[in-house]
Structure 1
């Protein structure tokens, strides 16, 4: 028993990022050995390894609808009406920044369309929507779907709608009831964390079957997808966010931008958790001389709703799924996708890779089958070593950036 505990302790000491890298490398090697006309690994061995990937995807598909429902319900139920007075300008900046990020992600996906290798992509029976009218009709019908059926069938639009309604209804419930809802959301998030601990094994299985089926060329699409994601995040961090800050403070925004990236973004890059970076952001706000009554509210709030990186991830990966499925997305639908990505990003889980589990919500708007969408989620976990680190760095550093911009803007006007 002690040997088992020692092994588990040693396993936990190795970071998840390193474990995912090992799984990615081993999967690439195993897939290469199982590909070609004379493979060294038999098809049965490759299929056996692929079961690990299928189990990982299955676990994600099972927990994702419950995660979305509990997180959104708890977030709305915990909101206090009187707490918004001092942070309202900051919330406006959060929403503008997140929506701008979603638009940039959509635009980048149109400028650099990317298809990705999915094992069952060709078999998906997806009919492209004929236009915005059909999209809106589907959206409205999904809104009023039976909530139990929505959870069972992974109807994320219906899940989001009913979670919002239940959250609003619970805002006037007893404090103990709202705390119970929050505890349930925390428990579900913890389960997601357990599932994600098996990401290295899942990625090992996914990459093995992908490389065995498509060769090493199949992974090249992952690299292009990662470039689109990281490039979009850099554009937000170095161009769009500075423009928003300049609009508020009317002076050179880059000293503040680089301070936030250096002292908050770097730490968040390695922790890959906006929640874990809250103490760092609090100390940075104090160092910048900001009002404690304001940033003590805006920083924890930003760790939940200020999700520019998540908006980019959701929009880019959902459009990559659309390109893979040969689904044409018109301008109006793309704008609606930007709005949906913004709303979805605000409900992203605080765990590493939490935004990936909201991709099916955006994919459902485009008529993409949930099985295909969850394969795209798995691809997201495969590139998540870099993607999630950059996403968290952008999200967390922007919490301080917009908090400082709003207060400095008020001082300028005063």
Structure 2
């Protein structure tokens, strides 16, 4: 790699990025684990819970655009370090909020801080590793997602029960981020385009957004990201409440189960799928994306079967849903490297920011909100059908479980969109950026 002696070893930087990504997802997952005690304490509905997720993701998406452009022109390590400080401090403040409005405001602030990470991190990975190794490197980076969520789901319920309050986990989560921020200030960055076969052109691209929007593969992957994150954020927001209400598990049992579904599966899926995706990519240009599409289709089928299980089959539900979630993790190791392959090196952070902005605004923000609306609607219909005059937890359980069938539908649409992006990929990858 050009200038290798002047930069921190790629493995060390990647390890630090992994830890930061772990904290990113740990902190953002806390409200999902604690949704039921917060809802009950303040008398909230599922729409309120969905709005908390929507507020975070909208702030995250909108802030990512200017921060992505900044990461293409300024020091990426400093952008990441400052973001870590902001979201970590606000996570601690999250433990002090006194009501729904203050919770919304703090979650918006955390979204602004976390938005600094992904564009800069993905651009760094592309400049540390060549195209034929980016799937594996992305797999390591994205291991922070399942491990962060797994740790959140495995520990948060126990921490809250030990201290006797849902506020305690937020205070504890604040400390590690501040320490990792200090470590980022010590690394030395690679130059932009350092691992590409041709030296990146010195001139800046005059119209960056227009340039990105002229790449069909990029747009198709964005569309797949919308449906993918719709399914993912709806699941992580409501799976713990679903296991508590519909299957009758305690908070700790439900959180541990979701930790297995969304966490343990990713620990195996991401490194394995990154290795397979890179090998396929080396032999067949469209292969990496087609591999991702096939895995998403399998994921859709397995999650549908899981949701079709009756309430007494909780273990079968968890096993099937976990198997489905194993295959959905292939999305990251197949589409993220494809974005870096088809956009100019000078716009990689901006591309990730645009990608995240679109799929967070249209997918992640609306997924929990729409599922929350559907849940309340179906619960109301079940109450009226039973001839009852008051809403009960039984009706809420029926409404929430039924609304989650949106998840496999969105995963299937994701698979179809990835197929379309694979068909266009070779042409866009071969562009000359003059």
TM-score range, shorter chain: under 0.3
Given the two structures, how large is their TM-score scaled by the length of structure 2?
A: 0.23
